[in-house]
Amino acid sequence: MRATLLATPLPTSSRTTQARRRSPKGDRRRQQILDAAMQVFARDGYSNASIGEVAAQVGLTLPGLLHYFPSKTDMLLAVLDMRDQRSPRLPGLTQGLTLEQAAAGPPLPWPVLLEQLRVVNRANTSIPGVIKAFSLLNAESLSQDHPAQAWFHQRAALMLELITRSVRHAQQAGDILATVDPAQIAAELVSMMDGLQLLWLRHPDKADLGEHFERYVERLQRAIAAH
């Protein structure tokens, strides 16, 4: 999706890579590598991406690149982490929370959740290259043994849980119709965000990512409001 909401915890191998001692100069070089990797992933996907080309784009030899990222998998997971860290968050309830923490904590108020999704969606309109890379990686991760399979699987499950709990909480407060299926609303929202991004990437002249999502959310709110 990408549309992302909050940060998803990375697997242990990536955390180990991040924990290595780094200098400010090394951090800058690492960021250059990740920006270049994002461009290559957006064009070629993960399977066809060449880390040699990433190295060439930032003026490094392949051994030099492997000093920062020992494998293409390490680079991929770092790119996914970078994508989440750059995702905008609302101040207050969602700021600083990982997606896992938000899904496990108190349910987000329904209006807050919807506004967070709007914020992320509006921000996505300005980074089509990043959204393309994320969408390609998401689709590729459906294949067996893909290194990002677990990351995207967990992310989707947490997003569904976060939205489901928010809808259920609003039902208990009397704000959303009791006849609504929270899990169905969660699946609908995630599917709308992901599907609309693909249509926007393929036909930007026919799909206004920001406007279409805003109108959809307005219709959804009216349709399920209890009063």
179-197 pLDDT per residue, tens: 999 999 999 999 999 999 9
Separation of first and last alpha carbons in the chain: 31
> Residue 51: enclosing H or E segment and its boundaries?
helix 51-57
| Residue 101's CATH number | 1.10.357.10
Q: Is residue 20 part of a domain?
A: yes
Look at residues 174, 189, 178 and name the one whose alpha carbon lies nearest to residue 219.
189
What Rg do the C-alpha atoms of the chain give, in angstroms?
19
Q: Is residue 189 part of a domain?
A: yes
pLDDT of amino acid 18? 47
Domain that holds residue 26: 12-224
pLDDT of amino acid 177? 97
pTM of the model: 0.80
Q: Is residue 6 part of a domain?
A: no
Q: Is residue 7 part of a domain?
A: no
Residue position matching structure tokens 């190295």: 55
Two tokens, residue 47: 């399977």
Two tokens, residue 110: 């329904």
Quote the strand ranges of the chain, DSSP E. Answer: none
Say how many domains are in the chain.
Answer: 1
**CA–CA dist 48, 52 (Å, integer):** 12
pLDDT of amino acid 15? 46
Q: Is residue 128 part of a domain?
A: yes
Distance of CA 71 to the CA centre of its chain: 22
Two tokens, residue 178: 């009791």
State the chain's mean pLDDT as an integer: 86
Name the pLDDT band for 225 (thresholds 50, 70, 90): very high
Show Cβ contacts of residue 29 under 8 Å, excluding neighbours closer than 6 positions. 58, 68
pLDDT of amino acid 90? 60
Name the pLDDT band for 205 (thresholds 50, 70, 90): very high
What is the crossing angle of helices 24-44 and 128-140, to 10°? 70
pLDDT of amino acid 7? 43
**CA–CA dist 22, 225 (Å, integer):** 51
pLDDT of amino acid 27? 87
Q: Is residue 198 part of a domain?
A: yes
Mean pLDDT, rounded, for 12-29: 62
40-73 pLDDT per residue, tens: 998 998 889 999 999 999 999 999 999 999 999 9
Q: Is residue 1 part of a domain?
A: no
Does the pLDDT at position 11 exceed 80?
no
77-122 pLDDT per residue, tens: 898 888 777 777 665 556 666 777 778 888 999 999 999 899 889 9
Phi, psi of 196 (to 5 degrees): -65, -35
Residue type, 104: A
Reduced to 3 states (helix: H, G, I; strand: E, B; else coil), residue 37 is: helix
Name which of 94-98, 122-126, 160-164 the model is least confident about.
94-98
Is residue 75 within 8 Å of residue 54, measured between CB atoms?
yes
Q: Is residue 126 part of a domain?
A: yes
pLDDT of amino acid 92? 58
How deeply is 21 buried, as exposed, middle or buried, from its count of CB atoms within 10 A (0-12, 13-18, 19+)?
Answer: exposed
